[in-house]
Structure 1
Amino acid sequence: MFIVSLTYKKDLTEVEKYITQHLAFLDQYYAEKKFIFSGRKNPRTGGVILVRNVNRPALLDILKQDPFYQNEIADYDITEVIPTKYDKDFACFAEELLNGA
């Protein structure tokens, strides 16, 4: 499981030019069950994506498809996380990871 933290490196007017394409990118990987959640940071300096069912090389390939990446809108910080303690409502995601799904 990975936490991807995006930090905008361009003004929000540039971000807005690519937001529709970025949302379509996110939708693709939700449909493939690779993204668990995503959202804007507050204040709006970037965003966060929680990713499952991929290894680091595959994740890097996925992120290269993001219009924000392709148009140099954001920097990406990737942190791998292995859940060891979690709320029962999150168990379906954590157990999937721990069982090698």
Structure 2
Amino acid sequence: MISTYLAPLDEVDKAREDHLAFIAGLEERGLVVSAGRQEPPVGGVILFDVDSEQEAQELIAQDPYVQRGLAEYKPTGWKPTRGVLATWKGKA
């Protein structure tokens, strides 16, 4: 998922702690491979380990940024074929 912020960065940052807690919860469940803010900070990227775009959409709808109208996410499918994630096994 690639996000675009819909509000000024200072407004987004007021919800950042809640957003990061949300991402941490998904990590604990084994649903996030990696995540981070874009540079410059105009949005972020979340690599999910899920079975479908629908599952990713359902998860991201719970993100505090989305619920508060601070960001929107675009799903982008990706299958790594090179580099450190090329042999990623994902969910067992």
TM-score by length of 1: 0.82
TM superposition outliers: structure 1 runs of 4+ over 6 Å: none
SS in 1 for 2:85: helix
What whole-Å deviation, never above 9, does each CA across 1:3-25 have from its counterpart, x for those lacking one? x1111010011101110100010
CA RMSD for the aligned pairs?
1.6
The question of 1:76 aligning with 2:70 is answered no
Structure 2: where are the runs of 5+ without partners?
A: none
Higher strand share: 1
Which of 63, 66, 77 pairs up with 1:66?
63
Letter paired with 1:86: R
Shift of 1:60: 1.0
The question of 1:47 aligning with 2:51 is answered no
Shift of 1:67: 0.2
- Aligned-residue sequence identity (percent) comes to 30
Shift of 1:86: 1.6
Give the number of the structure whose alpha-carbon radius of gyration is greater: 1
CA contact (8 A) 1:34 1:54 kept: no
